[in-house]
């Protein structure tokens, strides 16, 4: 029998209605509603983060406790299932993928769109199937399981606030589809590593996102550039932005002053290709780094991770373009 550690962080899955809104509740609420956990074929132990949260409150401190919890129990368990709110699940999945190197077990995040206590809830299926996937020894990476699909964690985006299929992996195939049987697409799944698991707990939040829009104003651009060392530039299409002189000058002087700017697309699918258009070639010329087909969540958490290691700017700029954990297509 496989040993699985179920880590409860909060999220809708365990919430109850209080004062007319949904609030995180303790693990017992969840356990009592899913008696199947006891006889799902695996030995499932559980642990809760200090205080269950709505994942909108997720932060570096929580990421560090969560990763420590996995790290400290890594040898005792065959796989891990993390119950997490869907709102920031894509960020946490990406962050964990960078915090851990040499993963050779399943670390699966799941949650639900409706609380477990509600009859039509998607919680039971998401949880029981995640446990089954974590138990079968095929997965060696951080994943998200939601509504019959298993995704690479650093490739997912939350795309729907209403439907059960809340996540998509626009630039990477799904890893498995759960139907009558769970069909794995082994060619897309990480092969794992037999080296010792390594945890990187240093994370920096000296980062910002600069989303471009037509007629963007200088004060806004200046204040975002001033605010942080690492900036994710969310550009148009395949990496394009306005060629107004002041815009390029602001970006160029920020880069010359030691800021790191990474170009990702506002489009859900596809890739940044700096140079296809004159409007992106100019960004490349001033030193903006292409984020290729990374999601904003992956680019942001990768930058938080790299800045946290206190690497030189040159090293960070190189690593951004490398494929560290399957987050980018080279
Ligand atoms: N606000 C909730 C959370 O992210 C939504 C959810 O769990 O689906 O914690």
Run means of pLDDT, 10 residues per run, the chain, 330 residues: 96 89 82 83 92 96 98 98 98 98 98 92 96 97 98 98 97 98 98 96 98 98 98 98 98 98 98 96 98 98 98 98 97
Q: How far is CA 107 from CA 11, 61, 73, 293, in A?
A: 17, 19, 12, 23
8, 10, 12, 83, best to mutate for ligand 1 pocket (most atoms within 8 Å of CB): 12
Token code pair at residue 96: 């964990």
Q: Would you call 12 a catalytic residue per the annotation?
A: yes
Catalytic residue among 9, 12, 129, 295: 12
- Residue 144 CA to ligand 1 center (angstroms) comes to 14
CATH architecture of the domain formed by 3-199: 3-Layer(aba) Sandwich (3.40)
86, 122, 162, best to mutate for ligand 1 pocket (most atoms within 8 Å of CB): 86
58, 85, 112, best to mutate for ligand 1 pocket (most atoms within 8 Å of CB): 85
- Residue 23 CA to ligand 1 center (angstroms) comes to 10
What b/e readout covers 110-121, taking b as 16+ CB neighbours within 10 angstroms?
bbbbbbbbeeeb
- Residue 18 CA to ligand 1 center (angstroms) comes to 15
Q: What is the pLDDT of residue 237?
A: 98
- pTM strictly above 0.95: yes
- Residue 215 CA to ligand 1 center (angstroms) comes to 34
Q: Whose CA is nearest to atom 3 of ligand 1?
A: 85
Contact 293, 194 (CB under 8 A): no
- Residue 88 CA to ligand 1 center (angstroms) comes to 8
Domain boundaries, given as residue ranges, for the chain = 3-199, 207-321
Q: What is the pLDDT of residue 290?
A: 98
Q: Which atom of ligand 1 is nearest to the CA of 13?
A: 7
Q: Which CATH number fits domain 207-321: 3.30.70.260, 3.40.50.40, 3.40.50.10260, 3.40.50.300?
A: 3.40.50.40
Q: Within 6 Å (CB) of ligand 1, which residues are found?
A: 10-12, 54-56, 85-87, 111, 113
The CA dihedral of 321, 67, 150, 169, to the nearest 10 degrees, is: -30
Q: Which atom of ligand 1 is nearest to the CA of 88?
A: 4
Q: Which of 307, 216, 314, 218 is nearest to 266 (CA)?
A: 216
Angle at 133 between CA 298 and CA 126, to 5 degrees: 75
Q: What is the pLDDT of residue 31?
A: 76
């Amino acid at each position: 029998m496989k040993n699985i550690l179920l880590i409860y962080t909060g999220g809708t899955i365990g919430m109850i209605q209080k004062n007319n809104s949904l609030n995180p509740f303790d693990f017992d609420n969840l356990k009592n509603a899913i008696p199947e956990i006891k006889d799902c074929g695996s030995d499932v132990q559980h642990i809760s983060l200090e205080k269950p949260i709505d994942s909108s409150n997720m932060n570096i401190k929580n990421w560090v406790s969560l990763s420590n919890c996995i790290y400290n129990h890594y040898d005792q368990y065959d796989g891990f299932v993390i119950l997490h709110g869907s709102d920031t699940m894509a960020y946490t999945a990406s962050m964990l993928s960078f915090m851990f190197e040499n993963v050779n077990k399943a670390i699966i995040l799941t949650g639900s769109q409706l609380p477990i206590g509600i009859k039509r809830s998607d919680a039971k299926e998401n949880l029981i199937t995640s446990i089954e996937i974590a138990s079968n020894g095929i997965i060696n990476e951080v994943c998200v399981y939601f509504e019959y699909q298993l995704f690479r964690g650093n490739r997912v985006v939350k795309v729907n606030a209403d439907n059960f299929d809340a996540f998509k992996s626009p630039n990477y195939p799904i890893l498995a589809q759960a139907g009558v049987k769970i069909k794995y697409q082994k060619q897309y799944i990480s092969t794992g590593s037999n080296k010792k698991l390594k945890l990187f707990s240093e994370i920096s939040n000296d980062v910002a996102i600069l989303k471009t829009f037509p007629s963007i104003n200088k004060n806004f651009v200046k204040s975002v550039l001033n605010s942080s060392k690492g900036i994710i530039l969310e550009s148009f299409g395949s990496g394009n932005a306005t060629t107004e002189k002041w815009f390029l000058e602001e970006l160029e002087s920020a880069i010359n002053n030691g800021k790191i700017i990474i170009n990702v697309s506002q489009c859900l699918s596809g890739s940044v290709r700096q140079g296809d258009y004159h409007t992106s070639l100019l960004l490349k010329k001033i030193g903006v780094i292409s984020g290729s087909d990374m999601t904003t969540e992956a680019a942001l958490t990768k930058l938080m991770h790299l800045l946290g290691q206190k690497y030189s700017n040159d090293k960070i700029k190189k690593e951004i373009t490398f494929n560290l954990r399957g987050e980018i297509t080279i």
